[in-house]
Amino acid sequence: MDNQVKKIIKKILVIVNKNWETDPVVNVFFNDKAIPKDYSVTVAKHPVVRKNPAVLLPRIRISNTAKNAGKNNDTLFLFEAEIWCIQDFMDPERNSSSSSEKVRVLYQLFEQYKKTNQTPDFLIAMGTAGYPEPDSYNGCVTIGTQVLINDAHPDNENKDSNWHHNRFGILVPSDLTKLANGFISQIPYSTRYNAECRFIPTPLNPVETPRIMAGDKYVALGNVNITDYSDFIWADKHAVEKARNKEKMDKIASVETTHGIIRMIAEDCLYHSTPPFLFISGITDRVGYFDEEVTPRVYTQNFVASHNMGITLAWLLQDLPGINLKK
């Protein structure tokens, strides 16, 4: 290769919520028919030892080569990514949905980054989610940049999880939300095509054609301090109604529990700033229909949504280093 070519290597930190979401996401990268050519995948701690959360390691590390890197004139864009799972490091004696316990783990993870003087260039939160529309979008993947956190139990009545933050109820944008050239518009159409043609449909109430739905201002609505899945029936609907009553509210593209936690703890730990942030959500159900559209096929419904968001991640990674971040 010409020695005059400049290489820019961007570090990308990917954090997934549960281990049953992380497993399908990570396994995508072991199938050469699922991902771009010439990716290098290194196993750090996968499959994970569920009962030994002491050692902080990602599941896998991924990088690309000059063969499939983006190029702009004399600049070559490369990435180095790590995929982490929050549940891997949670206390197995605690409820795996505890927001408080997730916060404890995330503080450890980001503090580790600070000690090594590493700050990721991009931060991606991933997890399965509900979609707040009457029509089914089950099997689709949503991408956005903003978070809004709602406390489902504001009076501390949930003793398994009572995390609080001073930015609850506030729409929090990312550095990617208002780029001069847009964010989503800088992602090539080929990325969407290559991902979507590898999507598989959910077993329950699938959308006719699973696809990526992305927007610069799309919002992940986080409903925190929920540890009893039966709460989703009332809590998510209440959170959506509350959010939509806000003035100038952008489109809610994901209702889940953890994207906002990742976003806020990163900001708290990384010198009160955060790398350009985005979320990738795999849609499993319509908000309010968890018992009908997830519970009867809990493994397969979650597996499909997680697989599809893993495919999306795989094809998106190579595009991020070349994003123009000028505002």
Render pLDDT for 90-137 as a digit per residue (tens, 0 to 9).
998 999 999 999 999 999 999 888 887 778 999 999 999 999 999 999
Q: Is residue 327 part of a domain?
A: no
Nearest to 29 by CA among 40, 21, 13: 40
Is residue 14 very low, low, confident or very high in pLDDT (cuts 50, 70, 90)?
Answer: very high
Nearest to 41 by CA among 50, 33, 55, 31: 31
User: What CATH number corresponds to the domain at position 240?
Assistant: 3.40.50.1580
Q: Is residue 47 part of a domain?
A: yes
Is residue 1 very low, low, confident or very high in pLDDT (cuts 50, 70, 90)?
Answer: very low
Q: How far is CA 327 from the centre of its chain?
A: 23
Q: Is residue 248 part of a domain?
A: yes
Name every residue whose Cβ is closer than 8 Å to that of residue 114 and which is 6 or more positions away in sequence.
269, 270
What average pLDDT does the segment 211-227 reach? 97
Is residue 52 very low, low, confident or very high in pLDDT (cuts 50, 70, 90)?
Answer: low
Mean pLDDT check: name the lowest of 55-59, 78-82, 301-305: 55-59
Residue 224: which domain range? 6-322
**What token pair was written down for 183?**
């964010």
Angle subtended by helix axes 298-316 and 19-28, to nearest 10:
50
Q: Is residue 1 part of a domain?
A: no
Mean pLDDT check: name the lowest of 60-69, 136-145, 154-163, 286-295: 60-69
Please give the model's pTM, rounded to 2 decimal places.
0.95
Number of domains the chain contains: 1
Q: Is residue 198 part of a domain?
A: yes
Nearest to 285 by CA among 202, 219, 222: 202
Counts of helices then strands in the chain (DSSP H, E): 7, 12
Q: Is residue 197 part of a domain?
A: yes
Q: Is residue 44 part of a domain?
A: yes
Render pLDDT for 70-100 as a digit per residue (tens, 0 to 9).
666 678 889 999 999 999 999 989 999 999 9
Distance between CA atoms of 234 and 294, rounded to whole angstroms? 16
Q: Is residue 189 part of a domain?
A: yes
% of the chain residues with pLDDT over 90:
79
